[in-house]
Structure 1
Amino acid sequence: MTAEMLDAVPDLLAQRIAALREYKGSLLLTHGPAEAPEGVLLALRRPTGALFRVVAFQVQPGPRRQAVAASLAEQLLAAARREEVFLLRAAAADAALLDADLLPLLGLPPLALPYTETWLGNVSASPRQHVPLYRQTTRFTCGPASLLMSFGVLGQPCSERREEIALWREASSIAGLTGPGGCDPFGLALAAQARGYAPRVLTSTSRAMLLERVDTDEKRELIEFVQTDFRLRTEEARIPIEQRDFTVAELAAPVAAGGVALLLIDQFLTHGRHTPHWIVLHHHQDDWFLVNDPWTEPGRMEGPADAEHLPIRTATLEDMAWFGEPAYRAAVILPIQPG
């Protein structure tokens, strides 16, 4: 979009377009001349997700309004088919940028908190358990936040920061590249077991993990020491550990049975940076999972509509679920019933 067009649209819409247009996955559709666009539709998609969030949909009043809106709606639906996106959402937080009377052209029901949605084509989610999104409050507590969401699925809802930080203190590898460190699967499994659950750990490596996130030998030695102790304690606690090159597809069975899986991924494909990160897989259907991601990107103005019940194809998760050099993967499975 040109500066001329930004000057021609309302200030709030211009600000949102300027903030999001450079992000991979943003889609800006316009109708009419640059100096006086008749309509604008802005959608945002995480590159790894099969979901478009409609951020803005506005059309100037007049006799051509419905035709212009219908054209923009069809362009978005065509883009969804082309990019194999099968879920649309509109967030109540974006209400000021959405002409409510135009949402039905996309098949979207009236806005509701936190968002409204519609499934496209022949895809529809079978009845699913509600997994409330808990957004991590620090850059290093994705693992504890994922555990909190898992506990919510399995009958022990909790959304307090005190518990998030308490879990981190129990499961942390201590050190990171620029500050406190994240959590390995063994620390998370021990924390889950301490709260009455029966976790199972899958890992492809016997080496300490997350060493890529430290920049001194002292930090590296500390992480190796802590994780060695976590693994020993996991074995002593008789928590099952399977060390092999497992596939993400294997997680479908325990998830379909009503359990959840915490999966370690690299954020590069989603947010363009190599960072280890834990997410929650809580529903499986056909060739995709529904995922809760505790991280929402501030610059993309992400919220629950972007990170809660997010459909991601199994093949995409297979690519995401490798981290490090040499690459390794890890998961923590929690069955539906506490142990």
Structure 2
Amino acid sequence: MIRDAVVDDVPALVDLENRCFETDRLSARSFRRFLAKGKAMVLVDEDDDHLLNGYALVLFHPNTALARLYSLAVDPDLRGRGIARALLTQAESRTLDRDATRMRLEVHQDNAAAQSLYHQLGYRAFAIHPDYYEDHASAVRMEKRLAPHLAQDLNRVPYYAQTLNFTCGPACLIMAMKTLQPGLTVNRQLELQLWREATTIFMTAGHGGCGALGLALAAWRRGFGVDVAMSDETEMFISSVRSEDKKDVIRMVEEGFLEEAAETDIAMRGEPMDANELCEHIRRGHIPIVLISAYRLSGDKEPHWVVLSAFDEHFIYINDPFPEPEKNRFDTDCIGIPITRAELTRMMRFGSRKHFASVVIHPLRKGKL
């Protein structure tokens, strides 16, 4: 019988863990933490004598439709009886019930039996992570779409990871421009050049952040068509700065952006774009870049730019330019993240004043290269 694990199962789970794995073992404390948090699911296979034959542990990415099979273990004396397959099948079904549509996992490079099972159940390898385990072996990263009828064209927008904490906007702009101009050479030099053009000079305690107008002008100078929807950028940026001198600099930069934008054909408006309108832009081949509250995605209380890459009847898919390997979040985790339209609408409001900003990049204007 497969059921949800409870705290009383922890000693048996630890015993099972120690018999199944020689390294990278989960502790009793870890199992208790997973059982206590709502972003994890632990299923166990129990026999008629109430002994645990195996378990499956799934983690859920906050506010997205991604799930991760963190661990799958079966008593070594009971392998080959379909227990792992049954646990994983049940875990997938329960994951889909929680509105997560993609399951990812890591498996030891030498674990041929596990890799074979995952392949049989529809998982595909999409990356290798070197030196992942305690024995320094690599992990094969695999993924399965639990609802295969959903959006398939998730690689249309080529991924570019920001190389600095403050260049999410330029990284998103690079992804948009590379999609519309495949021959574009992208590198860190371009990332920094775009940041220099789009920065507001000061933001919080670090380097300047990039606003909608700065990014829009950087794209327009390179021949792309641009639509912008934004609230008062100046107020949003100065709210994080204490120095009056720095506030004056931000105001001057924003005034310069506004004056320059007035001399272009950039379409600007003060009302937000809703999810349906953004999807229509994607359908027409445009690339929307939107400012979100990173708190709902990663827990960081900062504004953050992401790219909308695709959509279907259930989700909008985003590329997040900020991987965090130290938090076990790699580039491949940041591509095509599925988010419901309602959740994206909540994300696209930042701060107590509900600031918003969207920059939609169109194909190159005629006569521009």
Cα distance in 2, alignment partners of residues 62 and 331 from structure 1: 56
Cα distance in 1, alignment partners of residues 174 and 44 from structure 2: 41
Larger Rg: 2
1:287 is aligned with what amino acid?
Answer: H
Cα distance in 2, alignment partners of residues 97 and 228 from structure 1: 59
2:236 is aligned with what amino acid?
Answer: M
Instruction: Extract structure 1 runs of 4+ deviating beyond 6 A.
Output: none
Cα distance in 1, alignment partners of residues 41 and 229 from structure 2: 38
Which shifted more, 141-150 or 126-135?
126-135
Cα distance in 2, alignment partners of residues 107 and 302 from structure 1: 23
Which residue is 1:145 aligned to? 171
The runs of 5 or more residues in structure 2 that have no matched partner are 1-6, 129-140
Question: Contact 1:172–1:182 (CA<8 Å) still a contact in 2?
Answer: yes
**Which of these residues, 205, 228, 246, is aligned with residue 201 of structure 1?**
228
Cα distance in 2, alignment partners of residues 74 and 272 from structure 1: 30
Which residue is 1:5 aligned to? 14
1:256 deviates by 1.0
Change (3 A) 1:14 1:186: same
1:127 deviates by 4.0
Which residue is 1:169 aligned to? 196
Which residue is 1:133 aligned to? 159
1:123 deviates by 3.1
**Which of these residues, 318, 327, 338, is aligned with residue 311 of structure 1?**
338
- Give runs of aligned pairs for residues 1-339 of structure 1, distance below 5 A: 5=14, 8=18, 9-14=21-26, 25-29=39-43, 39-90=54-105, 95=109, 99-104=114-119, 106-109=121-124, 111-113=125-127, 115-121=141-147, 123-127=149-153, 130-156=156-182, 157-205=184-232, 207-338=234-365
1:28 deviates by 4.5
Change (3 A) 1:127 1:295: closer
Per the alignment, in what secondary structure is the counterpart of residue 190 of structure 2?
A: helix
Question: Contact 2:150–2:312 (CA<8 Å) still a contact in 1?
Answer: no
Question: Contact 1:87–1:117 (CA<8 Å) still a contact in 2?
Answer: yes
1:25 is aligned with what amino acid?
Answer: K
Cα distance in 2, alignment partners of residues 322 and 96 from structure 1: 46
Per the alignment, in what secondary structure is the counterpart of residue 127 of structure 2?
A: coil
RMSD: 3.1
1:194 deviates by 1.6
Q: Any idea what the Cα deviations from partners look like across 1:147-206, whole Å, max 9, x if unmatched?
A: 111122112444411111111111011112221021000000111112221111111347
2:331 is aligned with what amino acid?
Answer: P
Q: Give the TM-score of the pair, scaled to structure 2.
A: 0.79
Q: Between the two proteins, what is the percent identity of the paired residues?
A: 27
The runs of 5 or more residues in structure 1 that have no matched partner are none
1:49 deviates by 1.3
Cα distance in 2, alignment partners of residues 25 and 306 from structure 1: 17
2:24 is aligned with what amino acid?
Answer: L
